[in-house]
Structure 1
Amino acid sequence: MHTILPFLLAMVAAVVLLEMWAAKLRIAYPILLVVAGLIISFIPGLPIVRINPDLIFFIFLPPLLFDASWSISFKEMKKWWRIIGSFAFLVVFFTALSVAIIANHYIPGFSIALGFLLGGIVAPPDAVSTAAITGFVKIPKATSAILEGESLLNDASALIIFRFALVAVGTGQFIWHQAALSFLWIVIGGTGIGLLLGWIFVQAHKRLPTDASADVALTLIEPYFMYWVAEELHCSGVLAVVAGGLFMSARRLVFLNSASRVQGFSVWESFVFILNGIIFLIIGLDLPEIVEGLHAKGIPVSTAINYGLLVTGVLIAARMISAYAAMLATYIFRPGVVPRAGSAARVWLIPLTLGWSGMRGVVSLAAALSIPMVLDNGTEFPQRNLILFVTFVAILLTLVIQGLTLPWVIKKSHAFDNLTNDEKEKIARRNMKHGLKRHVHEFLTIKFEKELNDHAGMQSLLKLWEQRQRAAEGSLMGEKKKAVFFELLESQRRFLTEMNKDPDISEEMIREQLYQIDLEEERLRRS
């Protein structure tokens, strides 16, 4: 413990410093963290990072998925559900199948079951890497929503493939009708458990006398509980966390007060940043142990690198083929929703950018590390070290090569130039604020007409809202006047919730405005 604890603290410090350096260099921090971990791993005397395979999913995956489900726009997910569903399920299965066939054909000792196991590991792109990299370039909200929605669901589909392949490797057989029933229970049961627990947690937050600190603490343990219950019942813990997270996210205004939302945002942002940073560092730090395992099996590193290059090429090709197939299907079956990018040639560059955004990361590493050392019968798990090494190569190459070049590809292709309509977004944002201002005037005029006419202080209340200044006069508000202001803020929240139905106003705009209202309420409560 006295050796590991300083090392873990040093890892957190390294994550923070490397993130600042990455921001200065204007590159995505996951890339720098992986490379740094790889370099650090060669420093002599450092302890070898070993994580219990049974705990790797449980430590990192639930909070990362829970946070993603709270951040994503459910409104955009519903709008683009067809392409999100196809990328999250069909493309993942096609990728896993492609890897399985190629691995079975070209890698000695790889059965189809082992190929599907490897395919399930490396199939899902990483949401954190994509978000960090696309943050340096402008892409349309729709494209961002598709990538986020895909990454939220493809983890579940890939891990289902991984689970079935693991069973097939362990038992040496695959019974289709049993697998079909098991698949239905994994999907339906996982989703149902997530929704049920999400409802229970919402009721607990509403009915228990919690404060902001207690609310935030509960949200930190809730994803772990969802995941654990689902896995204990042999369902998909990933789907449970995603379903429960989406359910609770849609009701955050109901069961969390402004203090809980403001504090929770800051706590979760830091918590997820540390988790992501540590896991990307571990990707690099884990290389010596993987190479040591290859040497123990007599597999030359050069041969393993060639296999890694082959699988990475399959991943990139499969995603490219899928992206262009999706665009072709859209042209044939739904030509009305084909993006208008200025020219036909530019339209066909959009799948290129979507295909090139398939960086691998956290989930792939977690899945690879969770492969057991031995089978149920006590024999050694076949090809475990080679699978780990190939996964490492795929993560490293896609992160470094695709990650560093994706902003350049987006800029040079000009595929999104006509789709990133800044002026339209400005108009929508202005319309939202004008509508909110009209609502405030109507709310005060109708509900507090007598007070507005008879009391000069109520007129100043209206001006205070309009100016939004952190002035000293805010501290002079009486309790009665504050109560009116709190009611006004709550009315704004209801109005913004209704305004979210406007297709021209993004959910991101609504959430930004709601966060400002929460901050205003907290400022008044502390004045």
Structure 2
Amino acid sequence: MNESLGVLLAVLVGSLAVTVLARKLRVSPPLVLVVVFLGVSFVPGMPEVRLDPDLVLPLVLAPLLYSAGLQSSPRRLRENLRPIGLLAVGLVLFTAFAVGFTASWFLPGLPLASGLVLGAIVAPPDAVAAASIGRRLGLQRRVMAILEGESLLNDASALTLLRIFLAAAGVGAVTPSVWVGLGEFLLTAVGGIAVGAAIGWLVHRVRLRLNDAIMESALGLLIPFATYVLAEDFTGPVHASGVLAVVVAGLYLGHKSSESTFASRLQDQAVWAGLDTVLEAFVFALIGLQLAPVVNELRAGLGTVLLAAVAVLVATVLARIVWVFPMTYAFRLVPRIRAHEPRRPPWRVPAIISWSGMRGVVTLAAAFAVPDDVPGRDVIIFLAFAVTVGTLLLHGLTLPWLIRRLRVYDTGQQSDALAEAAAKQAAAEAAITRLDEVAGDGTPDHITTQLRSWAEQRANGAWERLGRPTEEVGEAPTATFSRLRRQMLAAERETFVRFRDQGRLEDGVFVEMLREIDHEEAMLDR
């Protein structure tokens, strides 16, 4: 037990070290992690680190999806529901059958039912790597919304489909017909949505009454794990989707976060940013470490399986391309849809979406969850690993070049800045009006003057960013204010440190005074 914990701790520390190096070199951390730990898996004496799906899905996938839900926009998901649904459900089904028939064709000894199990396993892309590349390069926001929405929903459809195909392969109750399978799929999805919405609503009501940022943040850390377990294990015969429940709870609570206190919002952002970094680094390190155990367990002829791996990888990549391009334009033949979306998407948009199909931890966790009595289990695991690593390297190494080449950049910065400036101007006017209402005759003039100045400064700073570059017109007034105020805060901080070191200030008092300066500096940085 202690040895296992030591190995996991070493993997975690090593993955964070590699992530730091990758960020300094400005390369995609997931790709570097996979390559580095692929090599580590073959180091003599390296203990085997197995992916346990019973732990990976609730302890790693659930918090990552919950965090993504917190940061996602329900409005943008609703606006792009059709393309997201076509990818998260339609493409998952299409890929599963394309890969299933391909695997059975190249491996005659592999039953079609087992091929379809493999298809369901490799069907859902993991957009963590693609989204990190897109954010770094300023990928068009609608494309980002579609990719992130797909990654939130496709895991649920793929895992439900896997359950149905496992039944067809002879594991568990046999699915009598396609319609029964479709009914099970819908019940699982509806159950997951209902559980997630109920938990989100309940937790939001509880958090509003807590009024304690630390306890709210502590409760937030438990939500993804509890939601996943409740949906998967305590919903009776429906067997609701834990993945979908976690996503819905995250979307609801993220949308309602504006009703929480500022302290809980700031604390949640910091906590989840750190946890995301740790989990993502650990996940991609685990993916790399699986190669040696997978190869050791492979009992079929390696040459035949390698050929099948190439064929399955090609089928997986081509299935996404073949699906995305027609589906992007086919629905525009419907007059109502064409009237609602008069602008035809340029071909560069489906090109980027179709080349963002990197697989991740869900694929490998699902592969290792396949029961031992499924025919060709060792081949399924090896092919799933080949698709995961192949798509990560193929798409991950070429996607940045493709985005730059096709120039699918976000062009809405100017309109965003204009909207921000208009909103801040209206907010400043509302703030000053409220000040006039609540400030009594006895309020000192210098206080009301300073408060008016702060409100006007926030609005002016937004308008200044719409002007010409600093190189042309010199430093803006708000920039001058921020620069000078930072220097003043630095002097205050140095003084507090000196008083603490001289024993003239208790450590507890010092921490509180330092926090005040940190909050003001964070506001200036924003």
Name 2:421's counterpart in structure 1: 430
Aligned partners of 2:133 and 2:400 also within 8 Å: yes
Name 2:329's counterpart in structure 1: 328
Q: Does 1:231 align with 2:224?
A: no
Of 360, 377, 386, 1:384 maps to 377
User: Scaled by the length of structure 2, what TM-score is found?
Assistant: 0.82
CA shift, 1:444, in A, is 2.1
Which whole-Å deviations, capped at 9, do the CAs of 1:195-244 have from their partners, x for residues lacking one? Answer: 1122221222223x462222112111111111111111211111111112
Q: Does 1:264 align with 2:273?
A: no
Name 2:256's counterpart in structure 1: 251
Aligned partners of 2:143 and 2:349 also within 8 Å: no
Name 1:448's counterpart in structure 2: 438
CA distance in 2, matches of 1:184, 1:422: 40
CA distance in 1, matches of 2:72, 2:442: 41
Aligned partners of 1:358 and 1:398 also within 8 Å: yes
CA shift, 1:32, in A, is 0.6
Flag structure 2 segments of 5+ consecutive residues without an equivalent. Answer: 459-481, 490-517
Aligned partners of 1:258 and 1:521 also within 8 Å: no
Superposed, 1:172-191 pairs within 5 Å as 173-176=174-177, 177-191=179-193
Which whole-Å deviations, capped at 9, do the CAs of 1:498-519 have from their partners, x for residues lacking one? Answer: xxxxxxxxxxxxxxxxxxxx95
CA shift, 1:3, in A, is 2.0
C-alpha root-mean-square deviation of aligned residues, in Å? 2.6
CA shift, 1:428, in A, is 2.5
Aligned partners of 1:279 and 1:362 also within 8 Å: yes
Give the partner amino acid of 2:417. Answer: K
CA distance in 2, matches of 1:109, 1:260: 56
Name 2:363's counterpart in structure 1: 364
CA distance in 2, matches of 1:198, 1:3: 39
CA distance in 1, matches of 2:13, 2:172: 44
Name 2:277's counterpart in structure 1: 273
Percent identity of paired positions between Structure 1 and Structure 2: 35
Of 281, 293, 297, 1:289 maps to 293
Name 2:469's counterpart in structure 1: none
Superposed, 1:475-494 pairs within 5 Å as none
For the structure 1 residues 519 and 335, does the alpha-carbon distance in structure 2 shift closer, same or farther, using more than 3 Å as the test?
farther
CA shift, 1:289, in A, is 0.9
Q: Does 1:215 align with 2:177?
A: no
Give the partner amino acid of 1:458. Answer: T
How many matched pairs? 461
User: Scaled by the length of structure 1, what TM-score is found?
Assistant: 0.82
Aligned partners of 1:126 and 1:360 also within 8 Å: yes
Q: Secondary structure at the match of 1:135?
A: helix
Q: Does 1:457 align with 2:447?
A: yes
Give the partner amino acid of 2:385. Answer: F
For the structure 1 residues 195 and 149, does the alpha-carbon distance in structure 2 shift closer, same or farther, using more than 3 Å as the test?
same
Name 1:515's counterpart in structure 2: none
CA shift, 1:153, in A, is 0.8
Aligned partners of 1:18 and 1:32 also within 8 Å: yes
Greater displacement, 450-459 / 28-37: 450-459
Flag structure 1 segments of 5+ consecutive residues without an equivalent. Answer: 342-346, 375-379, 474-517
Superposed, 1:146-225 pairs within 5 Å as 146-169=146-169, 170-171=171-172, 173-176=174-177, 177-207=179-209, 209=210, 211-225=212-226
Aligned partners of 2:99 and 2:315 also within 8 Å: yes
Name 1:394's counterpart in structure 2: 387
CA shift, 1:350, in A, is 2.1
CA shift, 1:443, in A, is 2.6
CA distance in 2, matches of 1:28, 1:261: 28
CA distance in 2, matches of 1:68, 1:93: 24
CA distance in 2, matches of 1:105, 1:284: 28
CA shift, 1:305, in A, is 2.1
Which whole-Å deviations, capped at 9, do the CAs of 1:399-422 have from their partners, x for residues lacking one? Answer: 1111111111121123x25x6243
CA distance in 2, matches of 1:237, 1:47: 31
Give the partner amino acid of 2:301. Answer: P
CA shift, 1:433, in A, is 2.5
CA shift, 1:456, in A, is 3.0
